[in-house]
Amino acid sequence: MRNHFKTPLSRHPLRLVLMALGSAVLMSCASTDVAPIEAQAKPDDTTDEGGIWYVTDKVEKDLQTSAIVERDPALNEYVSAVACRVTGPDYCKDLRVYIVKQPYFNASMAPNGMMQVWTGLLLRAENEDQLAYVLGHEFAHYRQRHSLKQWRQAKNISNASLVFSVGAAAAGAGAAGVLGQAAALARLYGFSREAERESDDLGFDFFVAAGYAPGEAARTWEYLIAEAAESSSRRKRKSVARASIFATHPVTTERVENLQAKAAALPAGTPNRADFIAATKPFLQQWLEQDLTLRDFGSSLFLTNRLIEGGDALGVLYFHRAEIYRLRRASGDSDLALADYQTASQYEDTPPENWRQMGDALAKAGKTDEAKAAWTTYLEKAPNAPDRLLIQSYLDPDGA
């Protein structure tokens, strides 16, 4: 790296080159001070924002035709209505909400108005108010044009770090060049937190203005922190998962306290649980099954126990908890699983599979007669079960 420049200019070339480079780069320094986007506004095609929309429109087209999107009309109508209540009628037309079948707690906002709500979030929200707060937070990213700000910031930082790295390389300080990059990255990250803070505040205002219960905003984060602490994955317990909302929304005590303080100054309000449960209940079993595919038994158990405390859909929940124990196979789990299959069998909404699994568990415990009774109930409840012949062979091994 030393003596990098051996041109005739090399007596004092570095300062000259850096000055010239600095002014060349400054020609393109973009303003990061952008005003909120107006309702029903579209950027001009000739701008950087127009380019960002052009690219995200294509991403949206791909998403629209993807199998990963939950298309159930009733659920989509419900979630979109909550979004509209938070954004108000004008901005409502600018947002398109997609429910994405992913078992992580996440939601995201694209600069063109494409909002994603992941099913892992719907599984973990306790009421409409908690959902509404997250949607308000995401809407604030859109309204404040955070993507555009972030892009311009990235552009300016990378321009500045170009000057810095050329200067550092020329001065023979390779390590300083690397450090320059690290510092630039840290600044990008810092900006992102700033945007999160702004979205926390604005999202809170939108959701309170829409009439939701202020205390529910912090509760979502409190729950997520508690669930992460119970995770079976040490990495998740320590740093909290990638591909979850934490990756882009680092939850800090400061953020939770900020929301708690804002809520404390306002009347409590009553969260709307009934509508939320009615809209999401038909999907509960499916979402729980998807959650279990992550094989994070600690976090799944924590979640299921909290849902059981909620007191809705208990047949589905006890069956699911039994399945967690069955798959975890820790010492004593067979007994726990059997107990939960038996509890589940007392409810109306229990899936038929509960009796098949209960039969298997009873047979393993040596209770043959009770096992046969459970299998018989299974076939009564699911006469077209794909494993009917197999179960019949258990009931009548001789095939009489």
Partner 1 sequence: MTGAISIFKQIRLLIFIAGLGAVITGCVSSSVNTTSNSHEAPKSGAQILLMQPDVELSLLTASGLREPRADWSKQAQGLIIAEIEKNLAGNGHELRQHSLDTDNAHEVQLIKLHEAVGNTILLHRFFNQPLPSKKDKFDWSLGPGVATLADNYDADYALFIFARGAYASAARQATALVLAVAGVGVGTGDQAAFASLVNLETGDIVWFNVTVTGSGIDMRRPSGAESVVKGLMKDNPLTTHATDKAKS
Give me the residues that bind partner 1 (CB under 8 A), please: 5, 7, 9, 13, 17, 20-21, 23-28, 45-46, 48, 50-55, 58-59, 61-62, 64-65, 151, 154-155, 158-159, 161-162, 166, 170
**Residue 388 has which token pair?**
């009917």
At closest approach, how far in Å is the CB of 252 from partner 1? Answer: 27
Strands in the chain per DSSP E? 69-70, 96-100, 107-109, 114-118
**Are 312 and 347 spatial neighbours (Cβ–Cβ below 8 Å)?**
no
At closest approach, how far in Å is the CB of 185 from partner 1? Answer: 14
Q: What is the dihedral of CA 248, 250, 255, 256, to 10 degrees?
A: 110
Q: Which is nearer to partner 1, 21 or 277 (CB)?
A: 21
At closest approach, how far in Å is the CB of 160 from partner 1? Answer: 8
Q: Which is nearer to partner 1, 154 or 363 (CB)?
A: 154
At closest approach, how far in Å is the CB of 61 from partner 1? Answer: 7
Which of 277, 295, 284 is CA-nearest to residue 318?
Answer: 284
Q: Which is nearer to partner 1, 149 or 326 (CB)?
A: 149
At closest approach, how far in Å is the CB of 24 from partner 1? Answer: 4
Which of 304, 314, 389 is CA-nearest to residue 344?
Answer: 314
**Residue 170 has which token pair?**
């020329």
Q: Which is nearer to partner 1, 155 or 381 (CB)?
A: 155
Radius of gyration of the chain (CA): 28
At closest approach, how far in Å is the CB of 111 from partner 1? Answer: 12
- For residue 159, the one-letter residue type is N
Integer CA distances (angstroms), 77 to 84, 104, 107, 126, 257, in order: 10, 22, 17, 19, 33
Q: Which is nearer to partner 1, 166 or 294 (CB)?
A: 166
Partner residues linked to 98 by β-bridges: 116
Q: Which is nearer to partner 1, 170 or 324 (CB)?
A: 170
**Residue 82 has which token pair?**
């909550």
Partner residues linked to 70 by β-bridges: 99
At closest approach, how far in Å is the CB of 10 from partner 1? Answer: 10
Measured between alpha carbons, how far is 147 from 164 in angstroms, rounded to an integer? 25
**Are 335 and 359 spatial neighbours (Cβ–Cβ below 8 Å)?**
no
Q: Which is nearer to partner 1, 161 or 357 (CB)?
A: 161
Q: Which is nearer to partner 1, 58 or 388 (CB)?
A: 58
Measured between alpha carbons, how far is 72 from 160 in angstroms, rounded to an integer? 48
At closest approach, how far in Å is the CB of 270 from partner 1? Answer: 40
